[in-house]
């Protein structure tokens, strides 16, 4: 009986630790960082990404490039530990001239940070961000 009681106490603790570890690896949350490499630039601009799971269990997101554009992310699948999205700009103050849309985005955790890689389907140009949780 003591063994059963001890197992009952260990079970929830192990499950709770697994949940905490899963949350620590999750891409969910708001992230902010510098975007580099766009159009060959060595330094660029700031982006903020907010990612969550919707009611159907699919990842969705919102992205903003402060002072420039903003848009939405729709999940397109998973591959090699990354989640793939398509980004569609919904607000561009210059009427579609400032930001390219649609763009592919690939997201993965790297420790406490989130790496985002954007690729423009037409030109093949890419940019990356290593973001901190905000």
- DSSP classification of residue 128: E
- Note the pLDDT tens digit of each residue in 46-57: 999 999 999 999
Task: Map out the domains of the chain with their CATH numbers.
Answer: 28-133 (2.40.128)
Q: What is the reported pTM?
A: 0.79
CA distance 54 to 74: 10
Residues paired with residue 125 on neighbouring β-strands, in sequence order: none
Give the pLDDT score at 25.
64
């Amino acid at each position: 009986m003591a063994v059963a009681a001890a197992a009952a106490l260990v079970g929830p603790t192990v499950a709770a630790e697994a949940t905490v570890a899963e949350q620590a690896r999750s891409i969910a949350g708001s992230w902010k960082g510098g975007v580099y490499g766009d159009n060959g630039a060595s330094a660029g601009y700031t982006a903020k990404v907010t990612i969550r799971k919707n009611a159907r269990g699919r990842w969705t997101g919102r992205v903003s490039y402060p002072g420039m554009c903003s848009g939405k992310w729709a999940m397109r699948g998973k591959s090699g530990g990354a989640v793939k999205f398509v980004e569609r700009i919904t607000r561009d103050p210059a009427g579609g001239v400032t930001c390219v849309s649609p763009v592919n985005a690939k997201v993965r955790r790297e420790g406490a940070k989130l790496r985002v890689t954007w690729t423009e389907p037409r030109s093949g140009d890419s940019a990356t961000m290593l973001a901190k949780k905000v």
